Amino acid sequence: MPDKDAGTPRVFLYRHGQTEWSQNGRYTGKTELELTKNGENQVSASGKIIVGSGKLIDPANLAHVYTSPRRRAVQTFEIAFSEADRQALHDAKKVSLTERLAEWDYGQYEGLVTKEIRALRKDHGLDAERPWDIWRDGCEGGESSQQVSDRIDDLIQEIRAIHKGNMRGENPCDIVLVAHGHLLRAFTKRWLGYPLEFPLSLMLEPGAVGVLSYQHHNIDEPAMLVGYGFPVQE
């Protein structure tokens, strides 16, 4: 972060590592899956580089870690953070499981890939004029984009309450969100004030970390950090 923005609180978006279904492109909402071995390695690699004392995600600078209750997200938190850091965060009551970070409820589309979903919707007489877009159309028997947006907005309001009054580093206020691909991309759109159907193409690989913050130490200027300078290692 540039010197002029030093101390501004950040929100780290930590996507869980690979699962069998994410590897195959299958939509995974409520289904409980373990990380693959490769998924564990993805999280371990990113965790070693960016999580720890003096690193990008420094537990000493965290106000809270919010985690999706799905097992793949919890497992990611357990791998990325050392046992000692996890214990210290738990002891300080800085870790929460929250359904607000659960992956999109895909309803009838759970376990399907995109082409199968579009074929199913065609059988149901939908999308005659344009192809299905989850950001606009939601999921049959699952969540609409408005429902996802509402629960994300509730969490953003909670995070902004933590950040307000600490925009110049007055207190440790970084936040970590450990969750899922669609959910974290939806969170980014809402953080920036866009509706979910806004055509902002975002990518977040399994085990990867994104960063959100604010411009000009101003809570009314939420921003996305598209490039980040890592802390200097002594």
Residue 66 lies in a domain: yes
Residue 151 lies in a domain: yes
Residue 234 lies in a domain: no
> What pLDDT score does 233 carry?
60
- Beta partners for residue 64, in sequence order: 175
Contact yes or no for 213/106 (Cβ under 8 A): no
* Overall pTM surpassing 0.75 (yes/no): yes
Amino acid occupying residue 192? L
Residue 230 lies in a domain: no
Query: The domain spanning residue 205 has which CATH number?
Result: 3.40.50.1240
> What pLDDT score does 234 carry?
58
Residue 197 annotated as part of some ligand binding site? no
Residue 229 lies in a domain: no
Q: How far apart are alpha carbons 120 and 137 in whole angstroms?
A: 14
Residue 28 annotated as part of some ligand binding site? yes
Residue 70 lies in a domain: yes
Residue 62 lies in a domain: yes
Active site residues: 16, 103
Q: pLDDT of the chain along its 234 residues, tens only?
A: 445 667 899 999 999 999 999 999 999 999 999 999 999 999 999 999 999 999 999 999 999 999 999 999 999 999 999 999 999 999 999 999 999 999 999 999 999 999 999 999 999 999 999 999 999 999 999 999 999 999 999 999 999 999 999 999 899 899 999 999 999 999 999 999 999 999 999 999 999 999 999 999 999 999 999 876 766 665
Q: How many domains does the chain have?
A: 1
The alpha-helical segments, DSSP class H, found in the chain are 20-24, 37-50, 71-80, 83-91, 114-123, 134-137, 145-163, 181-191
Residue 31 lies in a domain: yes
CA-closest candidate to residue 189, choices 137, 234, 152: 152
Residue 105 annotated as part of some ligand binding site? yes
Residues recorded for the chain: 234
Residue span of the structural domain in which 114 resides: 3-224
Residue 72 annotated as part of some ligand binding site? yes
CA-closest candidate to residue 224, choices 193, 180, 179, 197: 193
> What pLDDT score does 231 carry?
65
b/e 121-158 (16+ beta carbons within 10 angstroms → b):
beeeeeeeeeebebbebbbeebbbbeebbebbeebbee
> What pLDDT score does 172 carry?
87
